[in-house]
Amino acid sequence: MGAATVRLDPAFAVGPVRPRIFGSFVEHMGRCVYTGIYEPDHPEADELGFREDVARLVRELGVTVVRYPGGNFVSNYRWEDGVGPKADRPTQLDLAWRSVETNQVGTDDFVDWARGVGVEPMMAVNLGTRGVQEAIDLLLYCNAETGTSWPDRRAKNGHVEPHDVRVWCLGNEMDGPWQMGHKTAEEYARVAEETARAMRRVDDTLELVACGSSNRGMPTFGTWERVVLERCFDLVDHISAHAYYEPLDGDVDSFLASGEDMHRFIESVVATADHVAAVKGSDKRIMVSFDEWNVWFQDRFHGESSLAIREAPELIEDVYDVTDAVVVGSLLITLLQHTDRVSMACQAQLVNVIAPIATRPGGASWKQTIFHPFALTAQHARGTVLRPAVACDTVETKAFGPVDQLVVTATHDPGTGDLAVFVVNRSRTETAELTLDVAAAVGGTPTAYALVEHLQVHDDDTSASNTEEHPDRVTPHAGDAAVGGTDRTTLTATLPPTSWHCIRLTEGTVQ
């Protein structure tokens, strides 16, 4: 058992909590859309065919923005096939996931669903098999006032008012040879530049996301970002980053330290973007859109070529355990730690496909273990992200060397005085005895604090998971945190191995 000390001071702030960090991702892949968010024959389907039981879980999860319609899917998608009367929509072959796409859910349907569950739509355009013209057509269809052909078609399809989609992704993972229409950095940079310039002719207030690297291990990583931003720097606001994590070769210690890889990824992208800014003599700061991230057991997936062509196949429906939930919680901490440069992030995906929500066709929906750290962080991270001073033991990892046993972030809401502290114990064997010093948390003046709650995701059986039969096998439960000291500015808590924690405090006393 090791001692760990964390000190908080509002003078050491990273930046504001950005609500879009709590984003998600809906792709036409597997059962994410069909029998996921959409199932018109389900007993709880609404008038548009979307599952209300799933919608309730999405709201509880606290998702703020959802990226759509892909993902690899978007790079061979004809968006026109997904609008208009459903009976007239063509059935197509999706090359990305070798699936039959019925197009019963498309642009208008997704925006209706997003508005209904209270999330912001984030739209991607096909720069793989299509290009500038199709992107502009979709933008006009979504955002233009009636009076020209595309918005008039939207009105004819039942949406007179513009959808007003503000965030647009300029393609998806175009550095990946698995992508339909894969391009070199130079090829992608040119089409992204042309598309961005044309989109800004329609609306210069849009937020545009250029494709960054699909992962930090790509052979073009770094060079890709530089080449793309050299051409697109003045036209885009964000550059994307994608990363998925799993215990490679059974290396659970490195898996629990996945946040180290995400941290290095973000730092490298920021350094490259700022290098381009320096060369251009610009004060502009490109932000990182980490719009795909999660735990994904890719070693269990045998590739797209192995898939039988059919409609809404069961595809990478990973079941998550306690360890996976702790990793997801640590990745959320890492994103918050970089709130000064990470503008938004999307956990991929929302339902069924490597997702926090699982469903059975015609039946139940339930929360996977990874649901809980996301929901609690999204609910309680408010105000300003603080940079804690942490002193703790280290854990030896094969991938990253020695890393801190604890990964910590905290948020302070100056309006209410509330503090939320998020902590992961990354050791599989050692408990940490935490001492949290909040004496300087409000203006440097010692302020009495009261504990609101201490919730943890932990189980002695780290392989425990939630299922349809046992949907609450793993849920957050109370920890032992307590506030003490004569001035009530010190908190102590026991953090067991492989655990995630949300500790909430408020000024004064709790009645």
Residues labelled as active-site residues: 173, 292
Nearest-Å Rg of the Cα atoms of the chain is 23
CA distance 456 to 475: 9
CA distance 319 to 162: 39
Cα 117 to Cα 30, 64, 342: the distances in Å are 22, 9, 24
Nearest to 331 by CA among 379, 374, 386, 283: 374
- Structure-block tokens of residue 208: 């545009």
Side-chain-facing half-sphere of 249: CA atoms under 13 Å:
3
Q: Residue 103 in contact with residue 205, Cβ under 8 Å?
A: no
CA distance 417 to 411: 10
CA distance 157 to 416: 46
CA distance 75 to 67: 14
CA distance 73 to 96: 5
Q: Residue 283 in contact with residue 277, Cβ under 8 Å?
A: yes
The order of strands in the sheet holding 310-311 is 92-94, 99-101, 310-311
Q: Tokens 């233009």 sit at which residue?
A: 144
- Structure-block tokens of residue 171: 């393609």
Q: How many CB atoms lie within 10 A of CB 131?
A: 17
Q: How many CB atoms lie within 10 A of CB 145?
A: 12
Q: How many CB atoms lie within 10 A of CB 130?
A: 22
CA distance 276 to 373: 36
Instruction: Return the axis-axis angle of helices 132-143 and 149-156, rounded to nearest 10°.
Output: 50
CA distance 239 to 210: 5
CA distance 393 to 77: 50
The residues near 265 (Cβ < 8 Å, ≥ 6 apart) are 216, 241, 243
The residues near 70 (Cβ < 8 Å, ≥ 6 apart) are 27, 28, 29, 77, 96, 124, 172
